[in-house]
Structure 1
C-alpha cells in the first residue's frame, strides 16, 4: 500500500519526499496552516481498515504525548487507547462515506480523563481515502452551552413576566385614561407617556429574547423601500427620511425592519427639534470605481441631530444606556444584536456636522453608484 512518508520534526509536520527548495507553494502554505492550528490535528489515511497517522501538528504531540513513532500507527492508540476499536470504526466509516462528522469522546471508562470533541474531515485522493482529525476540549464547550441555555431560559422567564405582569395593568390604565375628562391635561399626559414607555420596554425586551443569535436564511432586500415602509410605522413627527442610494442588502427582512425602526425611533427620541435621517452606501471612494453588480462592504444610517459623545461610542450599544427621559435603553442593543446575528460589524461615529452615524461593515449589498456628496 503506497503512503506518503511524513515525519514529525521540531518545526512541525514535514514530507520527506519534498525538499524545502522544491516544495510547491500550496504545500508550504498547507504545512504552515496545519502546524499552526490552535488545537491538536492529525492527517490520517485508511489502510487495511485502520486510521493510520500520516502527519500530526505540535499541538497533537503535546496533547497526546506522541513522538516520531506515531507516524504509521493508528491514531486511536494515542487519542482513545481504552476504546480504540470503537473510535477507529467511527473514523473509518465517516471517511469511507465522505461524511463530515463531530463526536464527543470519553477517553476512558473511569471518566478521569476529560472528554474530547473530535471533528472528522474526509477527503479523497488517487492514493486512497484520507481525512483530517481535529480535537478540542469538550468540557469547556459543554459548559458554555449549558451557560447559554441557562441565560436563554432566564431571558424567556423575564420576557414572560414582563408580558404578563406589566402589559395587563398597562392596558387597564390606558383604558381608564381614555375616560378621564379634565381641564388640566398635563398630569394625564405625563401618565400616558409613562405608560407608553413601559409598553415600549415590554415590546423591546420581548424582541431581545426572540432575536436569533445567528441568522442563517437571508435574501436580497430593497432597503429604500423597506426603510420608507418602516418610517411610516414609527412616530417620526416632523422628522424627514432621505435615501441617498438605491441598493439591495442580503439580510433577513423582518430583522432588518426591526433594526431600522429602532434607529429611526432613537434619532427622533434623542433630538428635541426636527431631525433628518439618511441611509445609503458607505465609503464613496471604494464604490466609485466599481460597477453596480459588484458587492459593496458597508452601509450607513445617520441623523443631523446633536450626536453621540465620543466617550459613549462603546457604551451606547449596551443595555440600559439612554440619555432621554422617555428612552428605554434597549433600542440600540437590539440594533447591535441584529447586526451581529447577520455577521455585520457596527461602528458608532459622527457625521461632519456632528450628528450620529452608524456604519454597518461586512454587509453584502449591491446598488448603483452613490450621488456625489450624499454621505456626510
Structure 2
C-alpha cells in the first residue's frame, strides 16, 4: 500500500512497459520472421508459405498484447501473461532442439528449417499467453472472492461487536430513564441511536466504495474539496486549498474521500493515539490543507499526528483511537483510493500533524 516518494517516477515508467510487454514479444517474433525473408531477398510463394504462418501467429500475439493493454488488466498481471508467453516460447524452442538432437542420432539432418522453428516458438508464445490470460482471470476472481470474504468478516465484526455496544448502552439508559425520568438518560439513548445510524451509513459506504471506477472524468480538486468541507462538522477548523489541479476521478467518491479525511482530522485530531487527540477533538481551531504533489495530491492537518507504528492499522476496519469514532472512515478512504488505483502514503505534515498523500493520480 505504501510506496516511498523516490520510487514514484520509476513506478510510472515501469507500468507502461509492463502493459506493452506481451505486444512487444509479438513484435519481436514478427521482426525475426520478417528478417529471414528480407535477408533472402526473394519473396517467392514458397518463402511466403514457409514464413507466413509464424508471421500470422506473431500478429495474433501482438493482438493479444493490445487486448491486454485495453482490457483494464493491471500491469503486474500483464507481466505475468508475458512470463507465460516467454515460458511457452522457450518450451517449444527446447522441444525443437530436442527433436533436432533425436534426428541427428538417427543420422538425419540435425538442424530444422528456421520457418519450422519460428512456427513452433510462435505457437508456444501464443499458447503460453492464452494460459497466462486464464491464470490471471482466475487470480483476479480469487482476489475478488477473498475481498468479499474480508468484507463479510468486517460486517460480522460490526454486527457482533460495534453495533452491540451502542444497543446495550441504549437499553441500559432506557431502563434508568424509566426509573428516574432524568433527561440525561434520554440524551444517552439518543446518542447511542445516532452512533448506530452512523455505523450503518459507514458500513454501507464501505461496502460500496471498493468497486473499480469505470467512467472517471476530470474534476476540479479545489471545488470537490470545498464541497466536501461544507458537509462536515469541523468544529471551527479552517480549510486551506493550495492547488488548482484537475484530476481524473469519480467526483462522488472523491468527495466522500475528502469528507472522511476532514471528519477524521476534526474528530480525532488526525487519529492521534495519545490523550492529546481527545483534547483536540474537544477544542476549536486548527487548519486542514489540501495541496498537490508531483503525481497526486495530499491532505494534511496540524493535529498531534499519527505514530509510525499505527500508520497501517488506521486502515483496518473498526480501529479507532477515539471512543466516539467508528473506525471505518479511513478504511473507506483506502477503498476509494484502491478503486482509482491510487497509492496511499501516511507521513507527518509540516506542522507535525498527519499528512495523507495520494500518488498515481491522473490529471490534466
TM-score, normalization by structure 2? 0.58
- Secondary structure of 2:323 counterpart: coil
Structure 2 residue 258 is matched with structure 1 residue 260 = yes
> 1:130 is matched with which residue?
none
> 1:274 is matched with which residue?
284
> 1:221 is matched with which residue?
219
Identify which of 42, 59, 69 aligns with 2:87. 59
Shift in Å, 1:309: 1.0
Closer, same or farther in 2 for the Cα pair 1:62/1:275, shift >3 Å? farther
Structure 2 residue 83 is matched with structure 1 residue 73 = no
Q: Distance in 2 between matches of 1:143 and 1:63?
A: 23
> 1:5 is matched with which residue?
none
Matches within 5 A, 1:1-376: 43-44=29-30, 48=49, 50-52=53-55, 59-64=87-92, 65-67=94-96, 69=112, 71-73=114-116, 118=130, 136=132, 138-139=134-135, 141-142=137-138, 144-146=140-142, 148-149=144-145, 151-152=147-148, 155=151, 184-271=182-269, 272=281, 273-283=283-293, 296-365=294-363
- Secondary structure of 1:327 counterpart: coil
Closer, same or farther in 2 for the Cα pair 1:58/1:264, shift >3 Å? closer
User: Is the CA contact (8 Å cut-off) linking 1:303 and 1:355 kept in structure 2?
Assistant: yes
Render the CA deviation track for 1:317-347: whole Å, top value 9, x for unaligned. Answer: 2222211111122111111121222222211
Compare the two structures and name the one with the higher strand fraction.
1
- Secondary structure of 2:299 counterpart: strand
User: Is the CA contact (8 Å cut-off) linking 2:54 and 2:122 kept in structure 1?
Assistant: no
Compare the two structures and name the one with the higher helix fraction.
2
Q: Distance in 2 between matches of 1:54 and 1:144?
A: 27
Shift in Å, 1:215: 1.7
Q: Distance in 2 between matches of 1:282 and 1:40?
A: 35
Closer, same or farther in 2 for the Cα pair 1:212/1:76, shift >3 Å? farther
Q: Distance in 2 between matches of 1:306 and 1:188?
A: 34
List gaps (5 residues or longer) in structure 1.
1-32, 82-90, 92-104, 106-115, 119-134, 284-295, 367-376
User: Is the CA contact (8 Å cut-off) linking 1:304 and 1:353 kept in structure 2?
Assistant: yes
Farther-moved stretch of structure 1 (351-360 vs 40-49): 40-49
> 1:14 is matched with which residue?
none
Render the CA deviation track for 1:250-307: whole Å, top value 9, x for unaligned. Answer: 2210010110111111111103222434333335xxxxxxxxxxxx522221111111
TM-score, normalization by structure 1? 0.56
List gaps (5 residues or longer) in structure 2.
1-16, 35-47, 62-84, 98-111, 270-280
Closer, same or farther in 2 for the Cα pair 1:160/1:67, shift >3 Å? same
Q: Which has the higher contact order (CA 8 A, sep 6+)?
A: 2
Render the CA deviation track for 1:108-165: whole Å, top value 9, x for unaligned. Answer: xxxxxxxx652xxxxxxxxxxxxxxxx52734642541452464378479879989xx
User: Is the CA contact (8 Å cut-off) linking 1:39 and 1:59 kept in structure 2?
Assistant: no
Q: Distance in 1 between matches of 2:328 and 2:240?
A: 25
